[in-house]
Chain A
Amino acid sequence: MSATIEAEKVAAPRSNASGEIRKAFSGRLASFLVVILTVLWTIPTLGLLVTSIRPGKQVANSGWWTIFTNSGFTFNNYHQVLFVGGFGVTGGIVPYLVNSLAITIPATVISLTFAAMCAYGLAWIRFRGSDVIFFIIFALQVVPLQMSLVPLLRFYNFGLHIGSVPVFPNLHLGGSLAQVWVSHTMFAMPLAVFLLHNFISQLPRDLMEAARVDGANHFRIFRTIVLPLTTPALASFAIFEFLWVWNDLLVALTFAGGSPKVLPVTGRLLQLVGQYGSNWQLLTAGAFVTMVIPLIVFFALQRYFVRGLLAGSVKG
């Protein structure tokens, strides 16, 4: 059970001694700096929020900080952006939000599952070369996404041939959600395996051996021991992966193309930047809509966040 204890230790209150030390340096100056930074960090988003609830005419003629002198509130911008469109844009942003969810949920589940399995296999079914494989996977983080885009596109559209011999059939995935899921899973794999391996490899050996002696096979151990004990790490990585996939633009633009059936909300927002141009009130409302879901996910689950992610990798 030392893994859970370790996870708790990260969050446990510190003794007086170290608290005092920290006090020594985090004096007034540091606190002041941090408050200034926090204000600076928040103002841009605040400006966006304020702008999105002002009438278009006032947005064009005055800064958002004058909202109290040039008062005027409206939720019409949101209505228009979500459902109606306008200014050369037909339809609202809602279908694209749905696309984003339809991309993000499966991509997160699939990548998490395969990464956890791989991490368990490398950590607990030791075999010749398992360490080498682990390092190779870790190193694959360097491969820029951009390198994979063209070959992957061809792979999805034509299958795989060596010369004229088909090695892998054309799955006719072109332009579908499936190819976006698979691509995200591929790109998430190196970091996911690395982080989960750190956690899973530190589960207590005794527990695993006891289960083996009792006759449990690897699949049973994985389901009944590893998964429950790894929940904090899984939860925190799920949040990160959710944010990454939700916020991604490059993969979406490449594999979803411009197809409104697949294009996620980030891609739509990019189109709106072109279309709405100087209609800031609509653009800001659209931008805020795209932020809401990741922010909800983050605030709702933030307590799992770092604890789980780092419990394995930070040496205590």
Chain B
Amino acid sequence: MSLLASGPIVTASTLSTSAGKIGQVLAVVAVFLGVLLLIFFAAGRATGRFQRPLSIAIFIGPAAILLIVGLVGPAIRTLILSLYGAPYKNASFVGLDNYKWAFTNPNEQSVLLNTLLWIVVAPVVSTALGLLIALAVDRMRSQTIIKSLIFMPTAISFVGASVVWKFVYDYRSPDQPQTGLLSQVVMWLGWNNPPHWLLSHPLNNFLLIAILIWIETGFAMVVLAAAIKAIPDDIIEAARVDGAHGFRLLRSVQIPMVRATLVVVLTTVMIATLKIFDIVRTMTGGNFKTNVLANDMYDQTFNLFNYGRGSALAVIIFIGVLPLMAYNIVQLRKERATR
């Protein structure tokens, strides 16, 4: 109990170092903004033909440098690394071997299959539920409460969410008092011998996907609700004069009007799903045949130090998102052309 006794002293010192740290960080932020303001003033004095290029450089430069160093460069590097063998230094060129491994190794095939399952089920279900709630909640008296409660999981970290759900999926042998909610519920419903949820393949995949749906539905709902509110009244009015009501109105006016937003939501969730890492990492660690690309990639790179294979998996994730992005860009160009 000496630990407990020393509690308050420890607390006092932690609090003072904490305050110091936050103070330092705020000072950094202030200096950052101050320097920027100074640059603005100095650059604002420039005249003549330097003015325009200087403005362009200052406004776009920082973002461009960050993007080149942080995303463009590494992407190219990863592409090259994926063609090389395991050690980082003096790795030998292996061509497409890493990709061959990714598609032929039975373990990796199950990873790819799981990832496919994730990117199909999670975005579709959460977007559909989000749309349903956004449409239905519109008229309800308690819409703020409902929206807030549905949105709440979106504000929770994946790690936090995993703790929440570990507790739902907890397993106890049936003769003991249950602590996992899911087991208890199915026992109340008459299934006396529930399985160990997270160990039973392929069910465990769906149970993990349910967590992501729980998180992303709020996001989909919030964005779609705004898009529905933005539909001009005269359009709805005109459709009504033409005799569209209820589901017909929904199908032929409201959904087409928010289609662009639907696509954005769907792609955003899908991209998030492809990169999903935290849920699998904290729930099962990728064991029991629940592994997905992003988690496997992390393991290959940082635990097995096989940069070649890790990079190849990252490239596969990249190629997976590419068509979605291409579609989005085509949509965006169309929209800009009509503007």
Contacts and interface: CB of A to CB of B under 8 A. Distances in A.
Interface of A: 9-11, 14-15, 17-19, 21-26, 30-31, 33-35, 37-38, 41-45, 47-48, 51, 59-66, 79, 83-86, 91-92, 94-95, 98-99, 101-102, 105-106, 109-110, 113-115, 117-118, 120-122, 125, 127, 133, 135, 137-152, 155, 177, 182-183, 185-187, 189-190, 193, 217-220, 222-223, 243, 246-250, 254, 266, 269-270, 273, 280, 283-284, 286-287, 290-291, 294-295, 297-299, 302, 305-307, 309-310, 313-316
B165 A44 contact: yes
Contacts of A51: 167
B63 A189 contact: yes
Given A25-B247, A98-B22, A139-B329, A249 B75 contact: no
B261 interface: yes
B230 A9 contact: yes
B168 interface: yes
Contacts of B297: 146
A85 to B, nearest CB: 8
21 contacts: A18-B233, A23-B139, A31-B140, A34-B140, A44-B165, A64-B181, A84-B4, A94-B18, A113-B36, A142-B324, A146-B275, A147-B317, A150-B78, A187-B70, A190-B71, A193-B63, A247-B155, A247-B157, A249-B157, A270-B282, A273-B159
A26 B135 contact: yes
Contacts of A218: 55, 59
B60 A315 contact: no
A252 B310 CA distance: 19
Given A187-B70, A243-B155, A314-B226, A60 B60 contact: no
B196 interface: no
B275 A114 contact: no
Contacts of B247: 25
B51 interface: yes
Nearest to A168: B69
A183 B66 CA distance: 9
Contacts of A65: 181, 184
Interface string B315-339: 1011001101100110011010000
B217 interface: yes
A117 B56 contact: no
Given A146-B313, A148-B75, A269-B157, 14 more contacts: A22-B138, A44-B168, A63-B179, A65-B181, A92-B14, A94-B11, A117-B60, A146-B301, A147-B314, A149-B301, A150-B81, A183-B70, A294-B155, A295-B155
A74 B336 CA distance: 58
B55 A125 contact: yes
B136 interface: yes
A24 B245 contact: yes
B249 interface: yes
B153 A135 contact: no
A24 B236 contact: no
Contacts of B166: 273
B156 interface: yes
A223 to B, nearest CB: 7
B77 interface: yes
B304 interface: no
Nearest to B298: A146
B263 interface: no
B236 A37 contact: no
Interface stretch (B95-103, B106-114, B144-152, B200-208): B144-152
B3 interface: yes
B335 to A, nearest CB: 8
A185 to B, nearest CB: 6
B78 A151 contact: yes
Size bracket, chain B contacts? 35 or more
A106 B29 contact: yes
Contacts of A297: 155
A145 to B, nearest CB: 6
Contacts of B136: 26, 30-31, 33-34
B148 A18 contact: no
Complex A-B, nearest 5 residue pairs according to Cβ-Cβ distance, in ascending order = A186-B70, A121-B59, A247-B157, A118-B63, A30-B136
Given A38-B149, A143-B318, A150-B310, A280 B157 contact: no
Contacts of B261: 314
A25 B250 contact: yes
Contacts of A17: 233, 236-237, 240
A30 B184 contact: no
B198 to A, nearest CB: 14
Contact of A269 (B81, B163, B184): B163
Contacts of A15: 233, 237
A141 B272 CA distance: 10
Contacts of B301: 146, 149-150
B214 interface: yes
Contacts of A193: 63
B40 interface: yes
B21 A24 contact: no
A5 B161 CA distance: 38
A48 B167 contact: yes
A2 B269 CA distance: 31
A310 B226 contact: yes
Given A302-B148, A306-B222, A122 B156 contact: no
A95 B135 contact: no
B191 interface: no
Contacts of B7: 79, 83-84
B28 A106 contact: yes
Contact of B230 (A101, A140, A183, A315): A315
B212 to A, nearest CB: 13
B181 A43 contact: yes
A182 to B, nearest CB: 7
Given A146-B298, A147-B318, A186-B66, A316 B230 contact: yes
A146 B14 contact: no
